[in-house]
Amino acid sequence: MTIFKTKDKAEKSVIENIKLDNIYPSPNQPRVIFDEYELICLAQSIKENGIIQPITVREVTEGRYELIAGERRVRASKIAGLTEIPAIVTEHSDEESAVLSVIENIQRCDLSFFEEAEAIRKLITYKNITQEQLAQKLGKSQSTIANKLRLLKLSQSIRNLISGYGLNERQARAILKLPEDKRESAVEEIHRLGLNVSQTDKYIEVLLNPERRKKKPTWTFTEKRLYINSINKTLDTMKKSGVPFESEKSIDDGILTYIIRIPQD
């Protein structure tokens, strides 16, 4: 058993093996989604290498522990068939435990952006501090904190839709520009069209300014070249597949013309 001092407290903390059945998750755990495949991979690693980094817990009642950090390790250990896990047992109040749980997850950088936003909100509430003060503690800019908190203005149903479709944080912030009643259909359309961040921004601007629909779109040379390459690749694929056809390509006065003849027989 190893005894050491915590970073900001004089109380002793210990590392000991604790039964997994005696550990329950913190109610302040910001992570709500756990990737099943990642857990299985972690479980396999634990089978082969054991637990490299102990989890962190606090004893709430005799023999029962609240998890502060390491829920993925706990879940994966259960999948791996372990009954015990090494844990750092600390002495913290309810508030301290909540703060540590939130900070640990934020610093791991593997939360979804909605989970991170919720964690930041909780941390500001628990510590009763300003966005600027929290930004300094986390090594982020105040504008970054503010932008993340803005995401929580989206309804839970819209957040679920955005997460389910795999849209990113910048796309989620773009959706915020729309009225509530237009957000769901916009998310559906962004997913259906497979829009990237830049295209999403343009799409949102069109929704906010319908008169822009009347403007003729401009195409860059690069965008045109992508379509030309697609035609060439299609012809090459047809040729390799043995599809009979004749094709002609000509350029006259800046106009590229393709003529493709395919026998109907």
Sign of the Cα torsion 44, 47, 48, 53 reads positive
> How many CA atoms lie within 13 Å of 11's alpha carbon, on the beta-carbon side?
9
Catalytic residue among 11, 59, 66, 71: 71
Q: Tell me if residue 50 falls in helix, strand or coil.
A: coil
Comparing CA positions, the residue from 260, 196, 198, 257 lying closest to residue 228 is: 257
Q: What DSSP designation does 83 have? A: S
Nearest to 64 by CA among 101, 94, 21, 99: 21
Sign of torsion, CA 190 194 199 201? positive
The angle formed by the CA atoms of residues 132, 118 and 193, to the nearest 5 degrees, is: 110
Query: Which value, to the nearest 10 degrees, does the dihedral of the CA atoms of residues 206, 208, 211, 212 take?
Result: -30
CA distances from residue 229 to 224, 226, 232, 243 in whole angstroms, order as listed? 9, 5, 5, 19
Q: How far is CA 158 from the centre of its chain?
A: 15
71 in active site: yes
Q: What pairing do the DSSP bridges indicate for beta strands 23-24 and 64-69?
A: parallel
Estimate the crossing angle of helix 142-150 against helix 131-138, to 10 degrees: 110
Q: Looking at the annotation, which residues are catalytic?
A: 71
